[in-house]
Structure 1
Amino acid sequence: MLLPATLLLVLVVIHGVPLASGAARLLNNDYAVMFKTALIGILLEALPFVLAGALLSSLLRVFVPDAWISRWIPRQPLLAILFACLLGILLPVCECGMIPLVRRLIHKGMPVYVAIVFILSGPILNPVVFGATLTALRGHPELAYARMGLAFTVAFITGLIIYVTVRKSPLRLTMQQQGGEGHPLSARGGKLAAVLVHTSDEFFEMGKYLLIGCLLTSGIQTFMTHSSLTAIGAKPLGSYLFMMGLAFVLSLCSTSDAFVASTFLHQFPAGSLLSFMVLGPMLDFKNSLMLLSLFKTKFALYLFFLIFSGVFIGSVLLSAWL
């Protein structure tokens, strides 16, 4: 019921359905136009990646045997973490589509600590994001290289800490609780039908969290002015916390956040821009809701703390070089 209700609200906001004359005037004012523009922009940017992640997840579910995943992942933990860091080059999925794909990989045999590393590094450590960052930050290539290096380091250390400290499964639901591998349509329509069914299931399950996140994020973007943000983030360490908070609430795609960061080049320290570009793909409002749907709350909060701490400390240390 949550997704249909949210979809109805989105349609009302976007199209300005005139339920009453007062509502029509409210939906046609400047703030409503800004809100609709922001909402449409975020949805159009994120939905293709959620769909891509759901499709990849379904293809893995139907066509990849469980034993294959186990064979691909190195047994040695350090090599397994390194493998996960580099997996984003082969599977350049945006953070919006990461969760359904990773959930399937975990149920196929991928260890949780390896999956976490892939979630953190995959959206950043790929050629598309690196090229977008270089393009957005022309004249500052060191920021692009620092982004790749910090993302790799935070993902690697976070995965290592989780390997050492987490022993029990942090997943909310087992495969049996989610309904198992089978589906009536897969028996009737073959593997192609099974892929389509599983893709729609994954897409709508993740989509409800994406829609809620987009609605809240659009509201924040509408009522925050650039001048007030600049004044708040002018202090040294405050600028880091501010830019990391901004990355969290704006929930931008990893291929576009560098273009937003470039608008602050002359107002914020380079290190704070780095924290913005690394934290956002790893931890923003949308994927926080998705992570909370996948993992138990205690583990998810522990993961959030590790990510935030790693990005903050790394950005401050790298600011001396930048």
Structure 2
Amino acid sequence: MVKWRNYLLEILFLPIIAVVLAIFLMDKTVDFSSFHLAASPRLLDVKTLFLSILLEAIPFVLLGVFFSAFIQTFVRDEQVRRWTPKNPLIAIPFAALLGFLFPVCECAIVPIVRRLILKGMPVYVGIVFLLAGPVINPVVMAATYMAFPAQPDMVLHRSLIAALVAVSTGALVKIFLKRNPLKWGAELGIEHEARHDEANRGKLGAVFRHAVDEFFDMGKYLIFGALVSAVLQVYFSREILTAVGQTPVYSHLAMMGLGFVFSLCSEADAFIAASFANTFSKGSLVAFMVFGPMIDFKNTLMLLSVFRFPFVAKLIAVVFTLVLAFTLFLPM
């Protein structure tokens, strides 16, 4: 029963993805005997956006899975436990600063956090790193500064609110989490991999084997998320956004929704936010740049491949509420 649950998404999604990819990658038309589909301009836009999201994300996913495989092969469980501070008051800020030391985007961080938790890192520490890492790192800070050269304080606001949201969420997970949120298959996965490692003659071979397995495990969710994000971006009316951009609460909700739907890489989303600067408030732009890297559509699917659904749903609700509250009420 568990095996079928683990492979349900593959059974449902892979045929759909294969057909859509075949259509998108063709030149202008697809002709199946009597069936003829002409590519409309919007369909071509979806194709372009889909491929751009995919090509933008894949290098970071590869970086993440190789880093995850390196951890699996060369870092022992007791080392992770020893390096992680035991005191939550120290461990939570420590996790928030990990992103500055190890800059990874939201596409790459899910497999890394899963590996660290399996190795013995407390879940609440891993969640803080998961949320803070894609925002509080030097690459994203530099990109934000370049996108808002006339407003350098946007870097500070983005980093500060991301840190507050990540630390607050980690504290709530520490207080209220009662059981391991990892999926049953993920919990057993490390034991299976450890047995394989014993039979593996070279550690370099083990790194590549783990990286390949993890890439295909995460890749299907990335592809499906990128496809849905591209469709929504093309068919979502921008006129509606302009209409709601003048109302404080609605403008924040709209930009957070766009951050979820657009599924942009955290190194690039500041430039998209800057393009809305004449329509939306500074607070709503910060909400876009904080919520999107923490929770977006493709990242949600990747989280669902690792954590149980109730935990992911509660995590999204908490992050959404905290980002909205901090960006609405903190002076900027």
Paired residues of 1:185 and 1:197 also in contact (CA < 8 A): no
Aligned residue in 1 for 2:93: 82
Aligned residue in 2 for 1:307: 319
2:156 aligned with 1:142, yes or no?
A: no
The offset of 1:175, in angstroms, is 3.5
Aligned residue in 1 for 2:4: none
Aligned residue in 2 for 1:92: 103
Alignment of 1:162-201 (within 5 A): 162-173=173-184, 174-177=186-189, 180-182=192-194, 184=196, 187-201=199-213
2:256 aligned with 1:256, yes or no?
A: no
Tell me which amino acid in the other structure corresponds to 1:172: K
Determine the C-alpha separation between the residues in 2 that align with 1:14 and 1:147.
37
The offset of 1:224, in angstroms, is 2.2
Paired residues of 2:259 and 2:288 also in contact (CA < 8 A): yes
Tell me which amino acid in the other structure corresponds to 1:77: P
**Structure 2 residues not aligned, in runs of 5+:** 1-9
Aligned residue in 2 for 1:112: 123
The offset of 1:297, in angstroms, is 1.2
Identify if the C-alpha distance between structure 1 residues 215 and 191 changes in structure 2 by more than 3 Å, giving closer, same or farther.
same
Query: Per the alignment, in what secondary structure is the counterpart of residue 138 of structure 1?
Result: coil
Determine the C-alpha separation between the residues in 2 that align with 1:71 and 1:18.
57
Determine the C-alpha separation between the residues in 1 that align with 2:34 and 2:295.
38
Deviations 1:16-36 (A, max 9, x none): 473337866522x21121111
The correspondence for 1:208, drawn from 203, 220, 226, is: 220
**Structure 1 residues not aligned, in runs of 5+:** none
Runs ≥4 residues deviating over 6 A: none
Deviations 1:93-147 (A, max 9, x none): 1100111111100011100000000000000000000000010011111111100
Determine the C-alpha separation between the residues in 2 that align with 1:262 and 1:22.
47
Deviations 1:290-316 (A, max 9, x none): 112211111111111110011000000
The offset of 1:46, in angstroms, is 0.7
Paired residues of 2:304 and 2:312 also in contact (CA < 8 A): yes
Determine the C-alpha separation between the residues in 2 that align with 1:214 and 1:151.
24
Determine the C-alpha separation between the residues in 2 that align with 1:315 and 1:21.
55
The offset of 1:222, in angstroms, is 1.1
The offset of 1:191, in angstroms, is 1.2
Query: Per the alignment, in what secondary structure is the counterpart of residue 294 of structure 1?
Result: coil
Identify if the C-alpha distance between structure 1 residues 44 and 108 changes in structure 2 by more than 3 Å, giving closer, same or farther.
same
The correspondence for 2:307, drawn from 295, 307, 316, is: 295
Paired residues of 1:14 and 1:40 also in contact (CA < 8 A): no
The offset of 1:227, in angstroms, is 3.0
Aligned residue in 1 for 2:239: 227
Aligned residue in 1 for 2:114: 103
The correspondence for 1:44, drawn from 35, 52, 55, is: 55
Paired residues of 2:69 and 2:207 also in contact (CA < 8 A): yes
Tell me which amino acid in the other structure corresponds to 2:183: R
Determine the C-alpha separation between the residues in 1 that align with 2:209 and 2:128.
28
The correspondence for 1:9, drawn from 15, 20, 27, is: 20
Deviates more, 1:198-207 or 1:13-22: 13-22
Determine the C-alpha separation between the residues in 2 that align with 1:201 and 1:9.
24
Tell me which amino acid in the other structure corresponds to 1:231: A
Paired residues of 2:65 and 2:211 also in contact (CA < 8 A): yes
Query: Per the alignment, in what secondary structure is the counterpart of residue 305 of structure 1?
Result: helix
TM-score by length of structure 1 reads 0.93
The correspondence for 2:73, drawn from 44, 62, 78, is: 62
Identify if the C-alpha distance between structure 1 residues 72 and 218 changes in structure 2 by more than 3 Å, giving closer, same or farther.
same
2:309 aligned with 1:277, yes or no?
A: no
Tell me which amino acid in the other structure corresponds to 1:165: F
Determine the C-alpha separation between the residues in 1 that align with 2:75 and 2:264.
31
Percentage of matched positions with identical amino acids:
43
Deviations 1:196-233 (A, max 9, x none): 11101100111111111111000011112433321233
TM-score by length of structure 2 reads 0.91
